[in-house]
Structure formats: C-alpha cells, structure tokens
Structure 1
Amino acid sequence: MNKVLDRFLHYVAFDTQSNSDNSTCPSTEGQLKLAENIKNEMEQLGLDNVTLDDNGYLMGTLASNVDHDVAPIGFIAHMDTAPDESGQDVKPQIVKNYQGGDIQLGTSGEKLSPAQYPDMDNLIGHDFVTTDGTTLLGADNKAGIAEILTAMEVLINNPEIKHGDIKIGFTPDEEIGRGANLFDVDKFGAEWAYTIDGGYVGELEYENFNASSAKVICHGVSVHPGTAKDKLVNSMNIAARFQLSMPSEETPECTDGYEGFYHLTSIKSGIARTELNYIIRDFDKDNIHLRKAFMQSKVDQLNSELAKGRVSIEITDSYFNMKEMVEPYPHIIDIAKQAMTDCGVEPHICPIRGGTDGARLSFMGLPCPNVFTGGYNFHGIHEFITVQGMNKAVEVIVKIAENTAK
C-alpha cells in the first residue's frame, strides 16, 4: 500500500495550479503535463479506452470481471490545485508515527500545531505528509487521483474481488469552478459516480453550497493630487465603505455547519477604479437569492449616499446544491456507507462547505456524492494528509466497487 504514497509524491511534483484569468481549458499547461503522465500510467495498468482530450479531460475503464449485469460506476478526481497558495516546487515532508505536539514545516518558520488544528490530536501514531511551509501540498486533489489508481491496481491484482465496469475520470480546473464544463457524461458511461475529493477519514457528502460570485466595482475620479481639491474621488475609500457595510459575522471564519456566508476573496485597487470580488454561499436555495438581493441593496444604498463616485455590481451563479439530484437515489449513499463500515470506518455524513465537480455533474445527469481522501487544511501552507488516511480511502474505493457488484 506504499504505492498510494509513491504515486501521491510523484503527482505533487507537477505544478498544476489553475488560473481563473486564463480562459483556455485547461487554464494552465502543467495540468496537461500531469494528465499525459497519468494517461501513460493508466495504460500501463491495463485500463481500457484510456483517452485524453485537448481540454485535459482524462478517462479510462476497468472492465467488469463478472458475468452478470452490474451498474457501471465511476470515480472522479481533479488534477488542478487551488490558486490560493503557490503549487510550484512543492517539497513534501513525511513525519512518521506522529506522537503529538507541533510539527515544524521545513525551515520556513511555520508549524502545524494541534492548538490551531485539534484534529491532529486524533491522529497519534499516523504518518503525516506535510508541506515545507512555503506552498500548499496538493492533497486536494492529487491524493484522490493516487487513491483511485491504487484501488484500480488492487482490483487488477486481485481478480477474486468481483466488480462491474468502473469508469475513471480526471478533470482540470475544478478549483476555479470549471471542472465539469466540458465533461462528457455520455462518453464517461457511468450510472453514478463518486468524487474522491473530501477531507478526513469517514467524510461522505451529498449536500453542498449553492454558490454565486459578486464583483463590486467602485468608480472614482483620478486627478493629480496637487490639483485634486474638490475633484478627486478615491474609489478605494468607496470600496472600504462598502466592505464595512457587509455583515462581519457572516464570513467563513465566523460560520459553520449549514450557515452561509459572504467572503471577500480579492481586491484590485486604484484611484479611479477598485474591484471587490466576493463569493456568496448558502445551502438553502431561497437564502442564496436573499443574499444576492442583500448585496444589491447595499450597492443601491451606497449610491444614494455618495455625492461623487458610484458603485456597480455583477452577480454570477456558479453551482447549486446537489442534494436534490442525489436524494432520489439513496442506494448510492447506502453503498458508500456500507463500504466504509466494512472497512472499519464510521461514516460521517455532513454538508460540503464548498463545492466539487460532483455538484455540477449531478445536475448533468450523473449523481455524484463526495468521499474522503484523508486530507486536512486544503488550499494553504498548513495542508497535510496521512498515509493511513490515503490507504483507508483506497480500501473504501475497492469495497464500493465490490459491494456494487453484489
């Protein structure tokens, strides 16, 4: 089972950070380089119908080894890493048999501390894979790729484990919301699928946020400061007023569970024009509409108060809660829950405070819950995963395939 770790360490060496400013698919060349490498690996494993299209969508099939009809199922992961932190020159470190306390992250001066991340206290004796404190790790979602392919190798090497057709799909640009844009559901050919893109061992998710984005543009007037009296309008001051009008208690750092939020993700500032980029999240479809209306009302209110300058807003829907598309097929969840139980894992069904390719794919006709990878603290320099967690994900994937055939 060290193969899952070997695969993971190989994949994180590829810089696959996606880029929302680039309209191509995939948005970065590194994703194609990783896809070509994985394609060769899939062919060497003996998977059938391995294809990689020009947009970076990689698919393959492990053929059924039973003589009766079994629903074809799929496993999906994404190849890109988040733009939130650098994914270049990742230098993972392995801490074996963790015995508690802080973990120093290379020579960066950063550390993993159970005081900040109490989940570490539940992982005594595990082997940690961490960053060196200068980049993210890439467990989101290269761990999922490594786990899926290792599970396929287990099935190939153990033909006594019976399974139907298993479809494998690896996607680009999930982190910038485009992972399902060009996914060919008919070509994929699964009746349902599981994204292997969750966190701690036991996570099983089929609810996610309804998601929208908002671009608030503050328009000022730029004039030389030496002659600016009664003429200059600093758009950054307008932007500050708008941000301060937003509810400070409805942000990611102040919410949990089924609570929604507004999140200021970036600012592009200047005298004449400042752009505030927000994401808006809520599990309830009615509430997401109320949140969008609230932001519009704040724009209207600020415009009514401004003597000079103005504010405009552009709101775009990103994805929706997959719950309504998965709940009609309870056997999909039941099979995954039973697989976890069979592998000695207590299933923990919880909402995804985010989104996956599976959310979009569920609305495209491919019901697609999300299963754990064993990782923590995604999108930042404190990201880590355990070898035991990755191995357990491999076991669960194998067991899902086996239980489906039963």
Structure 2
Amino acid sequence: MSLINSIKDFTVAERFMRYVQVDTESDPSSTSFPSTEKQKDLSRLLVQELLDMGVSDAHLDEHGYVYATIPSNTEKDVPVICFCSHVDTSPDCSGNGVKPLVHANYQGQDIILPDDNSVVIRFAEHPDLKNQIGHDVITASGTTLLGADDKAGVAEIMDAARLLMSNPEIKHGEIKILFTPDEEIGQGVNHVDLKKLGADFGYTMDGEKAGTIEDETFSADAVRIKIQGISVHPGFAKGKMQSALKVAAQIVSSLPKDRLSPETTAKKEGFVHPNGISGGVDMAELDFIVRDHNTSNLEAHELELRTIVDEVVKQFPGVTYTFTVQEQYRNMKEVLDQHPEIMDVGLEAIKRVGLTPERRSIRGGTDGSRLSFMGLPCPNVFAGGHAFHGKMEWVSRQDMEKAVLTILHIVNVWEERG
C-alpha cells in the first residue's frame, strides 16, 4: 500500500458537517459582490483553520476570495497546481439552519428525512446509492439542502491541506488554494486575481460520483427579454390595453414541448430554459439560460427563441421588446484539450486511490469553465455529492475521504513527473 493510501486520520466529514451549518446562500438579485455578506462567515473560518495548520499566507480579500499557498517540498521543477471550490450554496433551496445527519453503515434502505417525512431519498431513484452499502451517508434533515455542492469540495481541500502540512514525506510542488463566492449564480470568478494566485493549472473539486473527472461543460449564455406593454386603467382598457405580463406568459407557453428544455434533453443535448419571469401590465421581463456543449449551437438556439418572441409579439399590436444576450461561460474542453497532461494526471490519481476513473461531460458549468478561458486550465474532480440544490442532497464520508486521497495523489503524481 502506498504511503498516501495508508492514511486513516481523516477529518473531512467532521469539517463538512461543521461547514454546512454556516449559511452561505448566494443571491442572484443582489448587486453587491459577493452577493451576500454571510458567505464571508465561512471564508473567515477557513482562513483561520488554514493559519492554524501553518499555511501562513492564508487570507480573505475584499471580494470574498480565500487565497493560500502550501510551499513546495521538492527540488524538482513542478508546475504550480491550484485546488478550487466554492463556499456558496444554491438559492434554489434554503441553506439556512442546515442540520446534517449521518446514516451510518447504510444498507440500501430508503432514507426518510425526519423534519419532513415527505422527503424521502429512495434507493430506486438514486442509482449511486447501490455503491454506498456499508458507507456513512450524510444528509440534511428535510427542510433545507445539505450543501455538499460545494462544501464537500471545500472540506476535502481543507483536509488535504492539513495532511500535506503534517506529512512532509508526501512530495509535491507549490500548491495554491482558492475558495470562491457566488459560483452558484455564475459570478464565482468575476474578481479573482490569477496573477496573485500564480498557478499554472488547476482542479475544481465540485463533481459528483466518486471516480469521475470532467473535462467538458456546457457553453452558456443568458438571455433577458424586456417587454414593453400598453398600460391602461382596467376599467377603460377594451381595445387599448396590451399586458406585458400576458405576452411574457404566452412566450413561455410557446416554447417547444418535446425538445430543447432541461426536462426533455440528456447527455450533450442543449436547451433553452426560462428561469425567471417578473413584471406587470406595463413592463415584464423574462430571463432564460441557453446551454449546449457545442458553442456554435448557442446562436441557433437563441435565434429560435427570438423567432418565437417575434411571432408572439406580432399578436399584440403596439407591444415592443428588447432581446439581450450575455455570455456566461464556455466549454472548458476547448482549452483542456490543449493541455492533455492535466487530465492524464487526474485520471492516474483516481486510479491510484483504487477507483475506476471515469471521464465525463457535465450538463452544467463550474468555476473551472471560466478559469480555463481566463488562463488557468481547470478540469472538475469528483467531490462525492449527489442530488444537488435540493432537500434530498447527500454525500458519503467514504467518498469524501477518497476525494482527499485523490488530491494528495494529484500533487504527488505532478511531483513524480517533474
């Protein structure tokens, strides 16, 4: 058994259960950065824990980023490797008052969450539960999400940092740690300072199933449609009023029913997804996210959406609209294919942990998507969480421990090849 795989003194589960109790929900409607100040509560805790480990330069900057460096302990010339996770949790489900529960020695039963018995994590509906027999499965209590996305990744990086600082016989080059806010609302790297970070390559710890590593994401745009209606007192509106809200509703109703939506697509199929509607008679807004693994398909999806809007608006004389497209992120595979050694090391590290490595595409994005195009090529490694953004989210202690070992092997393989 290798030195790394002989490690038994993990603290990752205890850290994780402590971190999830800190409310770090981000807010897409906020105009500040980070979008919520409470995200810094966890970041300050992480800085102090890193300092206590002896990571002497750990600090929180004014934008809510945590930066830290583990110095090299080898004479070899090794690339500087960064590990990154995000501290915020999704606004899709409350992260306030998370009560983590450990279901020890899981044996394949449905898990009924005690604070809301209608929330049941069913064995038949969560395929990876079959790989968790004998594991300690961690869930929330039924009224909140758990926060495995991505406090599992945060806890794994923190435990790996502790083990590297206390086991100098594990050889590695310089390692950078980056914890970001606001990833869940697509703003996680808006103010990151890559020059200050000083890394050559990176790995986000933000994936799902143990053994997986992702080198391909969606390419993503956001579309905002603003509809200008005609507002008239409803008592005198006949033949005059044109409700912007009704126009918006008809646009949503006119979207394809059997394709081009999240609920009708899989694998590498793209979609156009309405994720916000607001307004009234005079003015209404529609927000869409547009996704596809093939960047060139985004324009076709957006043209189809604009055509639908045109056809609907024609039915409401006097109504006008604006259609604004904003780039969010691009498929990181376009960058990672230029640096195959990054994935090679990741796959080798997973193999050394004793898992069967699985190269995946993700129907989503990570901070690594944008970091890759900013100059830090960055695939996404498993963190072990499942059923993200909802009350049925879960993770196993053993999978998180495997992720910690994967981090240690990644830096050790880079050192070996230096």
Cα distance in 2 for partners of 1:253, 1:101 equals 27
Residue type of the alignment partner of 1:27: S
The equivalent of 1:34 in structure 2 is 42
Q: Does 2:336 match 1:336?
A: no
The equivalent of 1:25 in structure 2 is 33
1:297 partner SS: helix
Q: Does 2:132 match 1:123?
A: yes
Q: From the superposition, tell whether residues 225 and 115 of structure 1 become closer, same or farther in structure 2 (CA, over 3 Å).
A: farther
CA displacement at 1:125 relative to structure 2: 1.7
CA displacement at 1:261 relative to structure 2: 0.7
- Picking from 61, 70, 84, the partner of 1:62 is 70
Q: Does 2:366 match 1:356?
A: yes
Cα distance in 2 for partners of 1:304, 1:232 equals 15
Cα distance in 2 for partners of 1:63, 1:305 equals 65
Percentage of identical aligned residues: 43
Give 5+ residue unaligned stretches, structure 1. Answer: none
Aligned residues: CA RMSD: 1.5
Q: Does 2:315 match 1:309?
A: no
Give 5+ residue unaligned stretches, structure 2. Answer: 1-8
The equivalent of 2:229 in structure 1 is 220
Residue type of the alignment partner of 1:324: E
Post-superposition Cα deviations, 1:309-352, rounded to whole Å, max 9, x if no partner, equal 34432221111111111111111100010000011111111112
The equivalent of 2:215 in structure 1 is 206
CA displacement at 1:203 relative to structure 2: 1.5
1:32 partner SS: helix
Name the TM-score, length of structure 1 as normaliser. Answer: 0.96
Cα distance in 2 for partners of 1:37, 1:107 equals 28
Q: Does 2:276 match 1:262?
A: no
Residue type of the alignment partner of 1:225: P
CA displacement at 1:217 relative to structure 2: 2.7
The equivalent of 1:168 in structure 2 is 177
CA contact 1:128–1:385 (8 Å) conserved in 2: yes
CA contact 1:242–1:298 (8 Å) conserved in 2: yes
Residue type of the alignment partner of 2:218: F
CA displacement at 1:197 relative to structure 2: 0.6
The equivalent of 2:109 in structure 1 is 101
2:361 partner SS: coil
The equivalent of 1:394 in structure 2 is 404
Cα distance in 2 for partners of 1:383, 1:185 equals 32
The equivalent of 1:271 in structure 2 is 281
CA displacement at 1:122 relative to structure 2: 2.7
CA displacement at 1:62 relative to structure 2: 0.9
- Picking from 150, 154, 179, the partner of 2:159 is 150
Residue type of the alignment partner of 1:13: Q
- Picking from 250, 253, 257, the partner of 2:260 is 250
Cα distance in 1 for partners of 2:326, 2:157 equals 33
CA displacement at 1:190 relative to structure 2: 1.2
Q: Does 2:82 match 1:74?
A: yes
CA displacement at 1:2 relative to structure 2: 4.5
Cα distance in 2 for partners of 1:267, 1:113 equals 33
| Corresponding residue pairs, total | 406
Q: Does 2:228 match 1:238?
A: no
Deviating more after overlay: 43-52 vs 165-174: 43-52
Residue type of the alignment partner of 1:79: V
Residue type of the alignment partner of 2:129: M
Cα distance in 2 for partners of 1:7, 1:182 equals 27
1:378 partner SS: coil
CA contact 2:71–2:174 (8 Å) conserved in 1: yes
Deviating more after overlay: 144-153 vs 96-105: 96-105
CA contact 2:229–2:243 (8 Å) conserved in 1: yes
CA displacement at 1:45 relative to structure 2: 0.6
CA contact 1:63–1:166 (8 Å) conserved in 2: yes
Q: Does 2:23 match 1:7?
A: no
CA contact 1:17–1:81 (8 Å) conserved in 2: yes
Post-superposition Cα deviations, 1:150-196, rounded to whole Å, max 9, x if no partner, equal 01111222221111111111111111111111111111111101000
